[in-house]
Amino acid sequence: MFDKELFHTHLNLRLQQLTEILTQQQYAGIVIPSGRPHRVYLDDNDYTFKPNFHFSLFIPEQSLPASYLLIRAGEKPQLIYYQPADYWHVVPGDPDPEWAQNFEVIVVSETDTWQKHLAKDLADWVWVGEPEASTSELFAATNINPSAVVHALHYERAIKTDYELDCLARANIIAARGHMAAYQAFISGATELEIHLEYLNATQHTEQELPYNNIIALGPHGAVLHYTELQKSLPDMQDRQSFLIDAGAKVNNYCSDITRTWSINNEFSELIADFDILQLNIVKEVRAGVSFVELHRLTHQYIAQFMLDHDLATGSSEQLLDAGITATFYPHGLGHLLGLQVHDIGGHQSNAAGDIQAPPAEHPFLRLTRTLEPGFCVTIEPGLYFIDLLLDKLKQRPEANLINWKLIQALKPFGGIRIEDDVVATEFGHINLSRQAFQNIGANV
């Protein structure tokens, strides 16, 4: 499922970065747990297991609970590989030699026997991950998720290796297949649940394997930014003339995150097509050295002009921006870092020490405030929505007279528009992984 040479290079770089961090902070080694399943309260079932993202940085497996990485500078990393003797559940198979050859693999069948492989003196070792029952007994409190180590790891993760970019690109191709299957289901008159099931089939993902809960929104449901209800019945025709899908896929724990909006209404389809041009114009600005905050502000300028060009508002773009009107129709951030997490960590860090560059007060939901660097993978996802809660607040303001309320009312059954691509910043430009993925499967969306 991956290029062995790319992974080997990736692993060596990430290990080098990690050992440099440990050396700078005067630590001898690190334990990175994969994590443990969490039991549902008053039940005998567990929530879906998700591995520690720091563990996944080195191990390309999705389900290895109760396993541990032991890393010392200058030594081959050890992987304590939990393989229980269990006839109630499916247990992990033998580790894939394609990646396991890079580790000293120690197979254990009991959850606590891994501890005998620890160094005798853990005074200068750190633990990075969710604490377990024995963690506080083994490690000093200051050595459990020490901020100096964790912040540095988060900061480094923003710049993707070639292996990571390959995983992200392939995750986009898988998601693109799902999006086109979902589109065909929408055109055929399927319910939200039926569309969702077609997506799962096309991507060959279970729900547990998805990077996030699919947003499958017909009609006005597109105005709910994180709509995940999956209605089982069809709404009235007027409420199923548009379809917003925000759905991704995973490859070796790396995520894709793509959004498309479609309509069977000709006029709204034209609005979507013009908004697609707007989104691509924003993508054109992605390159190393560009402030993501300024890119977000530019997006508001584009949306203000879009509203004027399509008779959604009157006045000037400056009036709409100064009054904060665009935030009513576009209330979220332009995008975020993408990687092992859909909203990859470290988006507000200004340096490896963990200093924070907060979003501007007028754009509090912006998840990324860093200046783009080569290797950053970000989402570019402008939107235009007709959200009753926000529209009702706008109606109470003096600037309400700038809005074409008759047209807004006519557009409310369509919910909204969002178009999202996964884009890699390069030194002189960008690579649009999502558009490439759709082209790869013969689609032009």
- Interval 392-442: pLDDT, tens: 999 999 999 999 999 999 999 999 999 999 999 999 999 999 999 999 999
Neighbours of 6 (CB within 10 A): 16
Q: Letter for the amino acid at 169?
A: A
Euclidean distance between CA atoms 128 and 110, whole angstroms: 21
Picking from 444, 442, 443, 445, the residue whose alpha carbon sits closest to that of residue 419 is 445
pLDDT recorded at residue 2: 74
Strand partners, 46: 39
Q: What are phi and psi of 54, to 5 degrees?
A: -65, -35
Kind and range of the H or E element at 333?
none
- Interval 317-337: pLDDT, tens: 999 999 999 999 999 999 999
Share of the chain above pLDDT 70, in %: 100
Does the pLDDT at position 387 exceed 70?
yes
Euclidean distance between CA atoms 5 and 298, whole angstroms: 40
How far CA 444 is from CA of 25, 350, 370, 399, 435, in Å, comes to 50, 37, 31, 39, 8
Picking from 227, 314, 292, the residue whose alpha carbon sits closest to that of residue 423 is 292
Q: Do 1 and 61 form a contact (C-beta atoms < 8 A)?
A: no
Does the pLDDT at position 238 exceed 90?
no
pLDDT recorded at residue 237: 87
Question: Which CATH number is associated with domain 4-156?
Answer: 3.40.350.10
Q: Exposure pattern of 375-385 as b/e (b: 16+ CB <10 Å)? A: bbbbbbbbbbb
- Interval 7-38: pLDDT, tens: 999 999 999 999 999 999 999 999 999 999 99
Euclidean distance between CA atoms 176 and 165, whole angstroms: 16
- Interval 138-184: pLDDT, tens: 999 999 999 999 999 999 999 999 999 999 999 999 999 999 999 99
pLDDT recorded at residue 1: 66
95: confidence class by pLDDT, cuts 50, 70, 90 = very high
Contacts of 430 (CB under 8 A, 6+ apart): 283, 286, 287, 423, 424
Ranges of each domain in the chain: 4-156, 162-440
Query: What does the DSSP assignment read for 34-99?
Result: -----BPTTSS-BPPP---HHHHTT---S--TT-EEEEETTSPPEEEEE----SSS----SPPHHH
Q: Do 103 and 77 form a contact (C-beta atoms < 8 A)?
A: yes
Mean pLDDT of 173-200: 99
Q: Letter for the amino acid at 442?
A: G
Report the chain's mean pLDDT, rounded to a whole number.
Answer: 97
111: confidence class by pLDDT, cuts 50, 70, 90 = confident
Token pair of 176 as six digits: 């693109």
- The CATH architecture one would assign to domain 162-440 is Alpha-Beta Complex (3.90)
Kind and range of the H or E element at 32?
strand 29-33
Euclidean distance between CA atoms 347 and 332, whole angstroms: 15
pLDDT recorded at residue 284: 99
Q: Do 214 and 175 form a contact (C-beta atoms < 8 A)?
A: no
- Interval 258-307: pLDDT, tens: 999 999 999 999 999 999 999 999 999 999 999 999 999 999 999 999 99
Look up residue 229 and give its DSSP letter: -
- Residue with tokens 């299957």, as numbered in its chain: 181
pLDDT recorded at residue 82: 95
